[in-house]
Structure 1
């Protein structure tokens, strides 16, 4: 069975994606900072038939990152690494004149430094993966499409040459929104790291995805005056992420809206 590591998997998009992968027969290593909510999420994943290793901890901790990769190795390898864990750097968000510098450091550490550290730890397993072997496009039976709204170069990578890295980004990485400067800077750093990783690791598929604003605890903490009721639930974004897998999509940045429109 294919194996995925998903950070920030106790709630929101990480939990929703984990449930979808478990339903497809994936085995999972999941992480979050709070042990109770993580174990609750893991129980639901196990009910879907997945083997699940739930490891509470902080992705900013190198020892914890090594533990996540070791758990994947015990499950048989690593085919998909999902860097989803995130912090804002200030709650609620504030203008740059009031941005706590310690908060900015934390945002950079969790949103950019930790994902790179986890990639570094996981590279041997990702390089050995045969995620797309046996198909010109997909490890699963799908509709052949993946998200459009794509920036980057067309992939010439051969199927079966390695695993995939999915980094969850934000439109704040590419647009200038008042009060989103610290968080946006951290996600912009993640985008650039992702783009360079795609060039340096031609055997991997590397996707960095802006899922759009969602009805999550993170968004509520960022903008508490917005009740979020008009924001889509994270579950509505998951089909687009699955279609990246189903299509073996080209490396690049994928962004909402239009995430479900088709693929290059």
Structure 2
């Protein structure tokens, strides 16, 4: 029976790359796609009408996260895994200039939405001995000027993955750093956020693009897909970069 996987932030970038691999042969999973914008999700539904259910909405609201779990069960009858990919980067600003309301909005999307979804999903994941992949970031461990909100939310995500693994022995959990990818987030960093970042860090992101240092999202996406399907005890509860030696078998 085909696996049933939820993917958030699935309309573009890494989420779309993950969705396409899950939907395509030989996996041919049934997938619930969640994002703020409908166009990318509808394209998948049109291409894979029997395999896709989708939901559009702001993940900062509890109802969207709760409804994603309900949709998986009502449409496909079970839940085998979740890839939590959706996240926002703004606000980028020094702590001394922090807009607290914006920090709270970021945390609602990047962190609290995960807890809301997990609370509803855990009973179903226990039944299937399911797997959860949290998409994290190198910013969880390495400081970037002005990235306090985003980086700390990803550090919290790493801890949440470890907590889930400790509390739910029948559910696999991992926090995955996908590295620096050629996605819209990098466009924003190069073109929109330069004035809020340190000059040296902004220049680093410009060089990564000009010198071909950005990974296609399909590369870390492949690791995420293999983990949500086959993640094993050796990496359960860990926070790892997609290139980590421990994940070599999941990159094949």
TM-score for both structures, normalised by structure 1? 0.79
In structure 2, relative to structure 1, the CA distance for the partners of 1:80 and 1:195 (3 Å cut) is same
Are residue 248 (structure 1) and residue 232 (structure 2) matched?
A: yes
User: 2:53 matched to 1:35?
Assistant: no
Structure 1 residues 247 and 5: CA distance shift in structure 2, 3 A: closer
Question: Which digits, 9 at most, give the CA deviation of each residue in 1:186-209, with x for residues without a partner?
Answer: 111111111111100111000110
CA contact (8 A) 1:11 1:41 kept: no
- Are 2:165 and 1:166 equivalent residues in the alignment? no
**Larger mean Cα displacement after TM superposition, 198-207 or 224-233:** 224-233
Take 1:86 and 1:163, find their aligned partners in 2: how far apart are those partners? Answer: 22
Q: Distance in 1 between matches of 2:65 and 2:239?
A: 25
- Contact 1:88–1:222 (8 Å) recurs in 2: no
Residue 247 (structure 1) shift: 5.0
Equivalent in the alignment of 2:200: none
Runs of 4+ in 1 over 4 A off after TM superposition: none
Task: Compare the two structures and name the one with the higher helix fraction.
Answer: 2
Q: Which deviates the most, 239-248 or 31-40? A: 239-248
Listed as ranges, the gaps of 5+ residues in structure 1 are 130-161
The residue aligned with 1:192 is 159
Please, which of 228, 248, 251 is the counterpart of residue 261 of structure 1?
A: 248
Partner in structure 2 of residue 202 of structure 1 = 169
Residue matched to 1:51: 51
CA RMSD of aligned residues (A): 2.0
Shift of 1:242: 3.2
Partner of 1:63: 63
Contact 1:87–1:106 (8 Å) recurs in 2: no
Compute the displacement of 1:255 (Å).
0.8
1:111 Cα offset (Å): 0.7
CA-CA distance at 1:36 after TM superposition: 2.1
Which one has more relative contact order, counting CA pairs under 8 Å at least 6 apart? 1
Q: Deviations over 1:58-90 (max 9, x none)?
A: 122111122111111021210011111101132
Instruction: State the match for 1:239 in structure 2.
Output: 222
Q: Is the 8 A contact 2:93 2:147 kept in 1?
A: yes
Alpha-carbon shift at residue 99 of structure 1 (Å):
3.1
